[in-house]
Amino acid sequence: MAGTIKLSSGYEMPMVGLGVWRMEGKSIRDLLLSAIKTGYRHFDCAAKYQNEAEVGEALEEALQSGLVKREDLFITTKLWNSDHGQVLEACKDSLKKLRLDYLDLYLVHFPIATPHTGVGTTASVIGDDGVLDIDTTISLETTWHAMEDLVSNGLVRSIGISNYGIFLTRDCLAYSKIKPAVNQIEAHPYFQRDSLVRFCQKHGVCVTAHTPLGGATANAELFGSVSCLDDPTLKALAKKYNKTIAQLILKWGLQRNIVVIPKSSKEERLRENFQLSDFTISNDDMDKIKAIDRKYRTNQPAKFWGIDIYE
């Protein structure tokens, strides 16, 4: 077990979770039940993944069969861009699909609002010019105050942000009544985000790494990106510690005090990715990994949106 981290909201969040992006159909049930049996308690979902209903069926089965108790689970989902003006409705829609009374964590998926297309539809409207339509009438501050209301209403225990850089995170800290408990960002050995990580941690915002293994096959297919799983330095260190490259990278994340949410559709990898407590990477080897940073983002929605929102 990798243990938990205490969030600014007072709740404990498991340091290793399972991301459900690109999981489909019946495989979700089998994978989630296997993950729970392996020891996973933290599951990272999103309205955009279009599989909350299937995740909800699996969670309900696990809860009703006594495999796990609700209070032992940590369920995250995310507000999509097109629902920034319908935060309450979007949250209730996710809760209904997930078959839950409350969320442990609700995140603003991206720091942009786009035209509303119907709660839970998660469309991205591309204009005639090939560029994503962005709704400039809804501020992130307005969205955040609606997120805070979810906590007051007992629908959500902790709220947070995702894909926010230093400036936007600083702004959120300034205008928030309830501080963002988490910033979920892409972070891996080729995209280490050291300044952003240090800024968040200094200000009490827990960092969660999505794409903690550099995206591997999924991002190579979607974005044409290169994965750090083939890096010679990481291969040599994994051999030294007698671990898989994935285990080494995930442990590196944990040793930076970052929560990791790897995705895997193979049961053997589910187990491997959870077995991280029996070794420690030395300071010298942490420095070797630090030296391979390429500042290389693999999750790049500009390919679909016609605009790089990180500019």
Question: Can you read off the two tokens belonging to residue 61?
Answer: 């089965």
Per-residue pLDDT for 225 more than 70?
no
Q: What is the mean pLDDT of residues 254-283?
A: 94
Decide if 285 contacts 43 (C-beta within 8 A).
no
Amino acid in the structure at residue 274: F
The beta-carbon contacts of 148-151 under 8 Å, at least 24 apart in sequence, are 148/176, 148/177, 148/178, 149/87, 149/88, 150/87, 150/88, 150/91, 150/106, 151/9, 151/178
Question: Can you read off the two tokens belonging to residue 30?
Answer: 């089998």
pLDDT in tens, 187-212: 999 999 999 999 999 999 999 999 89
pLDDT in tens, 129-170: 999 999 999 999 999 999 999 999 999 999 999 999 999 999
Which strand (E) or helix (H) includes residue 206?
strand 206-210
- Establish whether 188 is an annotated binding residue: no
Q: What is the mean pLDDT of residues 42-71?
A: 95
pTM of structure: 0.96
- Answer yes or no: 49 catalytic: yes
Residue-level length of the chain: 311
From the list 49, 106, 164, 190, the catalytic residue is 49
DSSP labels, 230-292: G-HHHHHHHHHHTS-HHHHHHHHHHHTT-EE----SSHHHHHHHH--TT----HHHHHHHHTT
